[in-house]
Chain A
Amino acid sequence: MEVTLLLESTDNAFRVMERAREHAVGLLDTAVQFTAEQTRFRQEKRGQLLFTGTQKRKTQFQNIVGTTIILLAFWMLLSGKFDAFHLTLGVICCALTAYLFHDLLFANVRVGDMRVIAARFIAYIPWLIEQIILANIHVASLVLRRKMPIDPQIVKFKTKLETDISCVTLANSITLTPGTITMDIKDGVFYVHALSQKVANELNAGDMEDRVAHIFMEADHLYVEDVLDAARIYQTLRT
Chain B
Amino acid sequence: MIQESDDVIVKAVARLLVPFIVVYALYVVMHGHYSPGGGFQGGVILAASFVLLGVSHGLEKTRRRMSEKAARVVSSIGVLLYGGIGALCLILGGNYLDYAKLGKILRVTPAEARSLGILGVEIGVALAVMAVMCTVFFAIFTAEESPEDYRSVE
B153 contacts the other chain (CB 8 A): no
Identify which of B8-16, B72-80, B88-96, B99-107 touches chain A.
B8-16
Contact A185 B9 (CB under 8 A): yes
CB neighbors of A among B22-46 (8 A): 22-24, 26-27, 30-31, 34
Q: Note all chain B residues with C-beta closer than 8 A to A104.
A: 15-16, 18-19
Q: Closest CB-CB distance, B126 to chain A, in whole Å?
A: 11
**Contact between A74 and B13 (Cβ–Cβ < 8 Å)?**
no
Q: Are B11 and A100 in contact, CB atoms less than 8 angstroms apart?
A: no
- The answer on a CB contact under 8 Å between A100 and B22 is yes
For residue B151, CB closer than 8 A to chain A, the reply is: no
Contact indicator per residue, chain A 79-98, by CB within 8 Å of chain B (1) or not (0): 10100001001100110111
Tell me how far the C-beta of B111 lies from the nearest C-beta in chain A, rounded to whole angstroms.
14
- What residues on B are CB-neighbors of A90 within 8 Å? 30
| A98-B19 contact in complex given A167-B12, A168-B8, A185-B7, C-beta closer than 8 Å | yes
CB-CB under 8 A from B34, the residues of chain A are: 81
B20 touches A71 (CB 8 A): yes
* Cβ contact of B30, chosen from A86, A101, A105, A167, cutoff 8 A: A86
**A97 contacts B23, C-beta separation under 8 Å:** yes
- Chain A residues, Cβ within 8 Å of B24: 74, 78
* Residue A192 CB within 8 A of the other chain: no
Using C-beta atoms within 8 Å of the partner chain, give the interface range for chain B.
Answer: 20 to 34
**Interface residue? A22 (CB, 8 A):** no
* B27 closest partner in A (C-beta): A78
B65: chain A residues at CB < 8 Å are: 100-101
Residues on the B chain within 8 Å of A86, using CB: 30-31
Q: Which B residues are CB-close (under 8 A) to A71?
A: 19-20, 23
CA distance A104 to B65 in the complex (A): 12
Determine if B23 and A105 form an interchain contact, defined as CB atoms under 8 angstroms apart: no
B19 and A67 form a contact (CB under 8 A): yes
CA distance A79 to B13 in the complex (A): 24
Report A-chain residues with C-beta under 8 Å of the C-beta of B8. 164, 167-168, 171, 185
* 23 A-B pairs with C-beta separation under 8 A: A71-B19, A71-B23, A78-B27, A79-B31, A81-B31, A86-B30, A86-B31, A90-B30, A93-B23, A93-B27, A96-B26, A100-B22, A101-B19, A104-B16, A104-B18, A105-B16, A105-B19, A107-B15, A165-B12, A167-B9, A167-B12, A168-B9, A185-B7
Given known A79-B27, A93-B26, A93-B27, contact A101–B18 (CB-CB < 8 A): yes
B11 touches A164 (CB 8 A): yes
**Interface hits, A156-208 → B, CB 8 Å:** 164-165, 167-168, 171-172, 182, 184-186
Q: CB distance B20 to A74 under 8 Å?
A: yes
**Are B27 and A168 interface neighbours, CB within 8 A?**
no
Minimal beta-carbon separation of B140 from chain A (angstroms): 23
A75 contacts chain B at the CB level, 8 A cutoff: yes
Give, as a whole number of angstroms, the nearest-CB distance from A156 to chain B. 16
Shortest beta-carbon distance from B10 to chain A in Å:
9
B13 touches A168 (CB 8 A): yes
Residue ID in chain A nearest B13 by CB atoms: A168
What string of 1s and 0s marks CB contacts (under 8 Å) between A54-71 and chain B? 000000000000010001
- With both beta carbons as reference points, the residue of chain A lying nearest to B10 in the complex is identified as A168
Q: Establish whether residues A89 and B12, one from each chain, have CB atoms under 8 Å apart when the complex forms.
A: no
Q: Which residues of A contact B23 (CB under 8 A)?
A: 71, 74-75, 78, 93-94, 97
Residues of A within 8 A of B30 (CB): 86, 89-90, 93
